[in-house]
Structure 1
């Protein structure tokens, strides 16, 4: 399972952004979540899913907003699931807590941690998680350099519009759309997303195969 824990940056001096972000994430990704997006301590948000694509999309949406330190934890969850994310427990939640704490000091404000069967930092699962973390972080940093114009046209194309249709909506030429997509590195985005989803899925499978699991119920859902 994937646990995303997000903590608002500069919450003591900025408006509370938790409620609108919670609603947006639930609206966009609710069908793929194990439980509704939850607000836990203060301005902190948590989400739980077994789908690596949804986990990545949640991370990308939070990073795009620009106001969150984002931790991703991968591991077992105590079963049966409660009725709210804030009541759930298990190694994935511990990993997510460690991850969000690390994210506050990291480039891209993102970190990834996994449940590992051994305490040493050189466990294969942790080494692999470090590799995936670096790739996700690089992807987030690349996207952070995208201009508002680039986000606008990329959003239209991501929603299924052709370049010609996007040009009509934006009132610009086909060539201008093409240039904006190039500047936004949209082709790289399209290639990197499925690769990261596959890596996250493999990491989840590896963690499930080697993790010790948790007590209670019939074992941790994966």
Structure 2
């Protein structure tokens, strides 16, 4: 079972309104439970799959104003959970965030299957690997131009390069150049790596 807790750390003055609108928009994504507002700056939701979790994290990293906590309960099915299990994984996501957070940071906590040193060590190593993957991808996202954000957003929505180029009114070659400059291959590879790491951590009790 998976969850994400996001805390707004951007510069928007009307942050309560921005956080509310963000919670509503993120809740519409496939595989994402309803985002609850926890105070003015915090939102949290249970997530159905590693893919949906990575889509959420990528969206938050692209915005640039959020600190992100991820909670993972290994061995638990990803859907049809009881409220008790969902509360547990949301609590783990919340606990993953340190007292002082920064925008663009990603923290991960995996609920160790038992209290043995080996289990705790494996959970810690997996948490660090997932956080490091998102740190690398986040660095790429933070360097993008407006044009790069437009191009990658269209690709992320499911369009191919020809369709995205037509949408932007540019040639396929220009689209390819934009994607290369924006680090689209790095993002795609990082997304898949994060999905694989989260799936492994979430299915190995």
TM-score, normalized by the shorter chain, greater than 0.5: yes
RMSD (Å) for aligned C-alpha atoms: 2.7
Counterpart of 1:129 (choices 127, 130, 150) is 127
Q: Does the C-alpha gap of structure 1 residues 52 and 102 become closer, same or farther in structure 2, counting only changes over 3 Å?
A: farther
**What is the DSSP-based 3-state SS (H/G/I as helix, E as strand, rest coil) of the residue aligned with 2:82?**
coil
Contact 1:104/1:110 (<8 A) preserved: no
Contact 2:9/2:66 (<8 A) preserved: yes
Counterparts of 2:67 and 2:147, CA distance in 1: 25
Query: Are 2:6 and 1:6 equivalent residues in the alignment?
Result: yes
Query: Are 2:41 and 1:40 equivalent residues in the alignment?
Result: no
Counterparts of 1:165 and 1:114, CA distance in 2: 39
Q: Out of 119-128 and 2-11, give the one that drifted further.
A: 119-128
When Rg is computed on C-alpha atoms for both structures, the one with the higher figure is: 1
Q: Does the C-alpha gap of structure 1 residues 93 and 172 become closer, same or farther in structure 2, counting only changes over 3 Å?
A: closer
**What is the DSSP-based 3-state SS (H/G/I as helix, E as strand, rest coil) of the residue aligned with 2:70?**
strand
TM-score normalised by structure 1 residue count: 0.77
- Number of equivalences: 197
Counterparts of 1:204 and 1:118, CA distance in 2: 17
Runs ≥4 residues deviating over 6 A: none
Q: Does the C-alpha gap of structure 1 residues 100 and 165 become closer, same or farther in structure 2, counting only changes over 3 Å?
A: same
Task: Find the counterpart in structure 2 of residue 20 from structure 1.
Answer: 21
TM-score normalised by structure 2 residue count: 0.83
**What is the DSSP-based 3-state SS (H/G/I as helix, E as strand, rest coil) of the residue aligned with 2:28?**
helix
Q: Does the C-alpha gap of structure 1 residues 162 and 132 become closer, same or farther in structure 2, counting only changes over 3 Å?
A: closer
Task: Find the counterpart in structure 2 of residue 68 from structure 1.
Answer: 66
Counterparts of 2:158 and 2:53, CA distance in 1: 21
Residue 202 of structure 1, CA deviation: 0.4
Counterparts of 1:52 and 1:103, CA distance in 2: 26
Query: Which consecutive residues of structure 2, in runs of 5 or more, have no partner in the other structure?
Result: none
Query: Which consecutive residues of structure 1, in runs of 5 or more, have no partner in the other structure?
Result: 210-222
**What is the DSSP-based 3-state SS (H/G/I as helix, E as strand, rest coil) of the residue aligned with 1:4?**
strand
Task: Find the counterpart in structure 1 of residue 142 from structure 2.
Answer: 144
**What is the DSSP-based 3-state SS (H/G/I as helix, E as strand, rest coil) of the residue aligned with 1:89?**
helix
Q: Does the C-alpha gap of structure 1 residues 168 and 89 become closer, same or farther in structure 2, counting only changes over 3 Å?
A: closer
